[in-house]
Amino acid sequence: MVDFLVGPMAYGFMQRGLVAAILVGIVCAVMGAFVVLRGLAFIGDAVSHAAFPGLVIAYMLGIPLYIGGAVAAVGTALAIGAVARRGALRFDTAVGVLFAGTFAFGIVLFSTIEGYVADLFSYLLGNVLGITFADIIQIAILGGVVLLVVALLRKELLYASFDQAGAAASGLPVVTLDYLLLGLVGVTIVVSIQAVGIIMVVAMLVTPAATGQLLVDKFWDLVKIAIAVSIVSAVTGLYVSFYLNVASGASIVLVETLLFALALLFSPKSGWLVGRRRGRRAEELQAVARPTVDI
């Protein structure tokens, strides 16, 4: 058993992968709580896809990929915010157009590159086991900045997320906070793309927070559960990936999805199975009470 757990950690790529997956998981869990409660899941997906052309252009220009990804992701996140404010089209329509268009642009650029580009492929599907020490430093710094900003503005972000009008009337700069939130989502996505890939990053944002929402009623408890789900999934997913020799990012996401499904079924608050059992118990109590009422 000890060998089973310690064995894989003899490999440097597993150590780095584990650290990276946990760091990314924590940042995604915290931002995911806001994404889920603000209904920004679709935006998260759009922003991650929009990062792709940025990555390809950075590759073609020979500059660090994450810079290209960051510019494209944060730029798209802010552009979506601006579209939302103008409101000429239905919001999800505008996001859908932007999302597919930018990704298509990335694919077209990608197809002009001759030969196999392992780096860029790893951004599409994620390759947490290919992460270098320098990547970890990058993730730690950018993720740390995101967490620091959220920590400083925790009350304001929560208030503006819950009641935008009330928060604005009391003097909070809600428009600035909105753009800041979108920008932070953009940075979080860039940080996460290398680990789990463009296509699955939205799961890292949404699934742990959604699991928390099924289980608890308080915002910061939700964040704690999301962090726990992320860490457990990162560790479990990596071991699954190691022993079954399957894709690492996808394994992490699958474990998260499994935990979400368990919460859906068994949550004491809202679980389908537990909830039903509760309902039955209430019916039984009523049945017992009824005769006395009739008398």
Partner 1 sequence: MERERDRAGAPLSAIAPLSAPAAIAVRLRQVTAGYSARIALDEVDLEIAVGSLLAVIGPNGAGKSTLLKVIAGLLLPFSGTVEVLGGAPRAVAKRIAYVPQAEMVDWSFPVTVGDVVMMGRVPLIGIGRSPGKQDRAAVDAALETVAMAGSRNRQIGALSGGQRRRVFLARALAAEPELYLLDEPVTGVDVTTQEDLMRILGAESDAGRTVVATTHDLASAAHHFHQVAFMNGRIIASGPADLVLDPALLTATYGGHVIVLPAGDRTIIDDAHHHDDAPTGERHFHDGAG
Q: Which of 78, 109, 140, 153 is the binder for partner 1 (CB under 8 A)?
A: 153
Q: Which of 1, 134, 165, 288 is the binder for partner 1 (CB under 8 A)?
A: 165
* CA–CA gap between residue 135 and residue 65 (Å, rounded): 11
Residue 163 interacts with partner 1 (CB under 8 A): yes or no: yes
Considering only residues 200-239, where is the footprint of partner 1 by CB under 8 A? 213, 216-219, 221-222
Applying CB under 8 A, the span of 156-164, 187-195, 250-258, 277-285 interacting with partner 1 comes to 156-164
Phi, psi of 113 (to 5 degrees): -80, 130
Applying CB under 8 A, the span of 166-174, 182-190, 199-207, 280-288 interacting with partner 1 comes to 166-174
Shortest separation between residue 206's beta carbon and partner 1, angstroms: 15
Nearest to 85 by CA among 149, 169, 176: 176
Residue 152 interacts with partner 1 (CB under 8 A): yes or no: yes
Shortest separation between residue 158's beta carbon and partner 1, angstroms: 7
Q: How many residues of this chain interact with partner 1, rule: CB under 8 A?
A: 27
Residue 64 interacts with partner 1 (CB under 8 A): yes or no: no
DSSP labels, 180-214: HHHHHHHHHHHHHHHHH-TTTHHHHHHHHHHHHHH
Applying CB under 8 A, the span of 105-113, 170-178, 234-242, 249-257 interacting with partner 1 comes to 170-178
* CA–CA gap between residue 46 and residue 103 (Å, rounded): 9
**Closest CB to partner 1 among 15 and 164?**
164
**5-44 footprint of partner 1 as x/- string (CB under 8 A):** --------------------------------x-------
Residues whose CB falls within 8 Å of the CB of residue 161, separated by 6 or more in sequence, listed in order: 34, 37, 38, 181
Q: Which of 117, 141, 169, 273 is the binder for partner 1 (CB under 8 A)?
A: 169
Task: Using the structure block, give the residue that is written with the tokens 């089209």.
Answer: 89
**Closest CB to partner 1 among 34 and 239?**
34
**Closest CB to partner 1 among 165 and 244?**
165
Q: Which of 114, 155, 287, 293 is the binder for partner 1 (CB under 8 A)?
A: 155
Task: Give Cα 140 distance to the centre of its chain.
Answer: 16
Applying CB under 8 A, the span of 54-62, 114-122, 126-134, 154-162 interacting with partner 1 comes to 154-162
Residue 172 interacts with partner 1 (CB under 8 A): yes or no: yes
Binding site for partner 1 (CB under 8 A): 37, 87, 151-153, 155-156, 158-159, 161-163, 165-172, 213, 216-219, 221-222
